[in-house]
Amino acid sequence: MRTSFTGDPSPASDADHAPAYDVVIAGCGPTGAMLAAELRLHDVRVLVVDKETEPKSFVRIVGLHIRSIELMAMRGLLERILPHGRRRPAGGFFAAIDKPAPTGLDSAHAYLLGIPQPVIERLLEEHATELGAQVRRGCAVAGFEQDDEGVTVELSDGLRLRSRYLVGCDGARSTVRKLLGVGFPGEPSRNETLMGEMHVGVPQEEITATMAGIRETPMSFWLRPFGGGVYSVLVPALGTGDRAEPPTLEDFRQALRAIAGTDFGVHSPRWLSRFGDATRLAERYRAGRVLLAGDAAHIHPPIGGQGLNLGVQDAVNLGWKLAAQVRGWAPDTLLDTYQAERRPVAADVLDNTRAQRELMSPEPGAQAVRRLLTELMDFEEVNRYLIEKITAIGVRYDFGEGPGLLGRRLPDIEVKQGRLYDLLRRGRGLLLDRTGRLTAGGWPDRVDHLADPAAALDVPGVLLRPDGHVAWIGDDQRDLDVHLRRWFGEPAGSRGDRS
Ligand SMILES: Cc1cc2nc3c(=O)[nH]c(=O)nc-3n(C[C@H](O)[C@H](O)[C@H](O)COP(=O)(O)OP(=O)(O)OC[C@H]3O[C@@H](n4cnc5c(N)ncnc54)[C@H](O)[C@@H]3O)c2cc1C
């Protein structure tokens, strides 16, 4: 089988057919950087290429939700990230309905962390390079060909590289997805929003007075002091433009005049950007040796702040599976569980943002539904359900019949040896054994064993995958062995290289 997906005419080939890399990642945004780091935990040879010479410069404050914060803790990154962010209560996100988070959320990290996106990207890229990932900036993935042994990747500077796998983490307009011919069905952008930082030419009191008069729906418009005389501006665009091109200051002036009757004398922008509200989901996450993750696989309006979180969580789901494939111990179907598990999660996020967008419409019907939901959120269970959805701690993968905990993530509980997540830093499986009889001894290179963890664990034994999801619960060694094989392949010494 040989499939060709080339964009530009092929530059002179200097690709050696023995792969120089195990995985090439297109895009060093949060998804690509996190995936690179996950792969490096397993000594996979990784190259990340990004078309930009520098990481994103525009300051967009994003919210890291509970599950992503937990993943940062699980990989020893949280200490590094916390000083750069601002903790906020975990409530009030669903359609910006102002309700506090329910009490007793089942997490040691039950807060939202507001952090500038360039900062989280820089920290993740540093983490990946410290672990040994190579990052090559200033050149794009322009084409590729895959065959039974690997992928030949063409870069925009003419270089051709040979790798075993290619992952497109190259954002909403993903070149990899397009060249792969994977459909991206959904709804096109109906509305666009301009976003930027700039100086204003009027006093703050005038801004406050004007804004008080026009604010109709949450998030429709803002002009907030950012520090140093700079204001952060968010305003609905007039019509839809070419989103590949940044907007101009004149676009902002016109949009401000349309909504506020004045352009506040805006001038001297630091950066200008725009985003739309398209909702789309890739038809497939994998075609042979090429995979998609993050915005390359799913896009939705930023309501509820879930996109970056979803991408980082894709990366943690995919990393150990792709590493297992490269290292040769992956069970036959393991890599395909990436799409089976993550695509339904993305579909659910797309749906909840569709619902939130309706709830934020100023139409009388939508506002009536919003009032009703606001009342319903006074019921603890309703509020909890919605918060667990937005923060992704409610995610349950379908591992088949079993107790309620099966397929869910285990929170960062205290164990006799410290905190559970500290034991998952190396990205390996973990057997928590309260019986003193269980063993994962056949998988010493893939699964750690924690005897007598004490802990707030009311089950005899738990097998955790490297992403912290519960793969098995029980006390029977034979049943455990079946599940160890299901997730971690044949025991050491009895396997061949199937990569
Ligand atoms: C206003 C706004 C607010 C948001 N707030 C939140 C929030 O609070 N919480 C949240 O979770 N999410 C939020 N998001 C969404 C979040 O920003 C994205 O989901 C996130 O950036 C996706 O990360 P990614 O790594 O998948 O893609 P990107 O961040 O788009 O990164 C893709 C990378 O690929 C590179 N690239 C592109 N093409 C190529 C190519 N051919 N070859 C090589 N490199 C290439 C790009 O240069 C880029 O560095 C918000 C988005 C917007 C617009």
By C-alpha distance, which of 278, 309, 281, 315 is closest to 296?
A: 281
Residue nearest to atom 27 of ligand 1 (CA): 171
What is the distance between the alpha carbons of residues 110 and 123, in angstroms, rounded to a whole number?
22
CA 29 to centroid of ligand 1, rounded, Å = 6
Closest alpha carbon to 499 in 180, 161, 23: 23
Backbone φ and ψ of 340, nearest 5°: -60, -35
Atom of ligand 1 nearest to the CA of 140: 42
Give the dihedral sign, CA 431/436/438/441.
Answer: positive
Atom 1 in ligand 1: residue holding the nearest Cα: 302
**Cα–Cα distance, 147 to 67 (Å, whole number):** 37
Distance 340 CA to ligand 1 centre (A): 23
Task: Tell me how far the alpha carbon of residue 4 lies from the centroid of ligand 1, in angstroms.
Answer: 27
Half-sphere exposure of 265 (CA within 13 A, CB side): 9
Q: Is 284 left (phi over 0), alpha (psi -120 to 50) or beta?
A: beta
- Burial of 485: CB neighbours in 10 Å, binned 0-12, 13-18, 19+: middle
Query: What pLDDT, on a 0 to 100 scale, did the predictor assign at position 43?
Result: 97
For 187, residues 6+ apart whose C-beta sits below 8 A from its C-beta are: 278, 279, 280
Phi, psi for residue 78 in degrees, rounded to 5: -65, -40
Distance between CA atoms of residues 449 and 73, nearest Å: 20
Phi, psi dihedrals of residue 220, rounded to the nearest 5°: -75, -25
Question: How far, in Å, from the CA of 190 to the mean position of ligand 1?
Answer: 20
User: 66 CA distance to ligand 1 centroid (A)?
Assistant: 19
Give the span between the Cα atoms of 162 and 204, in whole angstroms: 57
Q: What is the DSSP string of 210-252?
A: HHHHH--STTS-EEEEEETTEEEEEEE-SS---TTSPPPHHHH
From 49, 51, 292, the mutation candidate for ligand 1 (largest count of ligand atoms within 8 A of CB) is 51
Asked whether 172 and 271 are in contact (CB, 8 A), the reply is no
What are the pLDDT digits (tens) for 291-333? 999 999 999 999 889 999 999 999 999 999 999 999 999 999 9
Of all protein residues, whose CA lies closest to atom 21 belonging to ligand 1? 308
Which residues contact ligand 1 via a Cβ below 6 A?
Answer: 26-32, 49-52, 60, 62-63, 117, 140-141, 169-171, 175, 195, 275, 294-295, 302, 305-309, 311
Q: How does pLDDT run across 337-352, given as a tens digit for each residue?
A: 999 999 999 999 999 9
* Ligand 1 atom nearest to 176, measured from its CA: 41
Q: Taking the model in full, what pTM does it have? A: 0.92
Nearest ligand 1 atom, CA 309:
11
Helix/strand/coil for 187: strand
Is residue 305 helix, strand or coil?
coil
Q: Are 413 and 456 in contact (CB under 8 A)?
A: yes
Using most ligand atoms within 8 A of CB, pick from 5, 49, 60, 220 the residue to mutate for ligand 1.
60
CB-hemisphere CA count at 13 Å for 27?
A: 27
Q: How far apart are CA 495 and CA 267, in angstroms?
A: 65
Taking the C-alpha atoms of residue 382 and residue 265, their distance in angstroms, rounded to an integer, is 45
Q: For atom 15 of ligand 1, which residue has the closest CA?
A: 307
- Note whether 316 and 392 are within 8 A (CB): no
Buried residues in 97-124 as b, exposed as e (16+ CB within 10 A): bebebbeebebbbbbbbebbbbbbbebb
Ligand 1 centroid to residue 31 C-alpha, Å:
8
Q: Whose CA is nearest to atom 40 of ligand 1?
A: 140
**H/E run at residue 138:** none
CA of 177 to the centre of ligand 1 (A): 15
Q: Kindly give the distance from the C-alpha atom of residue 283 to the centroid of ligand 1, in angstroms, as a whole number.
A: 20
Atom of ligand 1 nearest to the CA of 26: 43
Which residue has a Cα nearest atom 53 of ligand 1?
275
Query: What spacing in Å lies between the alpha carbon of 320 and ligand 1's midpoint?
Result: 22
Of ligand 1's listed atoms, the one at least distance from the Cα of 32 is: 25
Strand partners, 470: 464
Question: Containing H/E element for 424?
Answer: none
Residue nearest to atom 30 of ligand 1 (CA): 171
How far is residue 214 from each of residues 217, 341, 499, measured CA to CA in Å? 9, 44, 60
**Can you give the pLDDT of all 499 residues of the chain as single tens digits?**
333 333 333 333 445 567 899 999 999 999 999 999 999 999 999 999 999 998 877 777 789 999 999 999 999 999 999 999 999 988 888 998 989 988 889 999 999 999 999 999 999 999 999 999 999 999 999 999 999 999 999 999 999 999 999 999 999 999 999 999 999 999 999 889 999 999 999 998 888 888 877 765 454 678 888 778 899 899 999 876 666 678 999 999 999 999 888 999 999 998 898 888 999 999 999 999 999 999 999 999 998 899 999 999 999 999 999 999 999 999 999 999 999 999 999 999 999 999 999 998 889 999 999 999 999 999 999 999 999 999 999 999 999 999 999 999 999 999 988 999 999 999 999 999 999 999 999 999 999 999 877 777 889 999 999 999 999 999 999 999 999 999 999 998 775 444 4
Expressed in angstroms and rounded, the spacing between residue 420 Cα and the centre of ligand 1 is 31
